[in-house]
Amino acid sequence: MTSGQRKAHKYVWLLLVMTIPILMIFAVKDLDVFSLKEDLKPKFSATKGTIVKTSENKILKASLIKKDSLYSLEVILKKPIKQASLVIESLQAQDGAKVIGQLSSVGIYKFEVDEVIEAIILKDPLGKEDINILTVLPL
């Protein structure tokens, strides 16, 4: 290597050392997983109101609760999940899928919803794939 090539090599490496960490920070900030809104976080409180619909399988139990004119979805996660976290989406015939909230560990989760939910879908936000659990809330 000549002295000119050594000098260019040094500057290229210095440029890479400065730009790669900056690009990694922007890539992590661009992930939607860490930017969930406050209203999507579960609210832990005692169940009050009348249960409108309920459905249960071996992994979770979902109940739609009505108090006054407001609806809330209570999800009880019974078993640990393999993924780091799951996103709950409501399935409506007219609106399609809408994100309700996030599940991370075994426990009781309560989410405020706008309307009666027909079904919920659990999705893996990191793997961008549907988990094959569809809980239909019967009428």
Query: What pLDDT digit, counting tens, does each position of 26-57 carry?
Result: 888 777 665 555 555 555 455 577 888 888 88
Give yes or no: residues 71 and 25 share one domain: no
More confident residue, 137 or 62: 62
> How many Å separate Cα 89 from the centre of its chain?
8
pTM over 0.85: no
The domain of 78 spans: 38-136
Task: From 114, 132, 138, 139, select the one nearest 58 (Cα to Cα).
Answer: 132
pLDDT band at 139 (very low <50, low <70, confident <90, very high): very low
Domain total in the chain: 2
Considering the domain architecture, whether residues 66 and 112 belong to the same structural domain is answered as: yes
Same domain, 42 and 88: yes
Regarding whether 130 and 111 lie in a shared domain, the answer is yes
Kindly state whether residues 110 and 50 are assigned to the same domain. Answer: yes
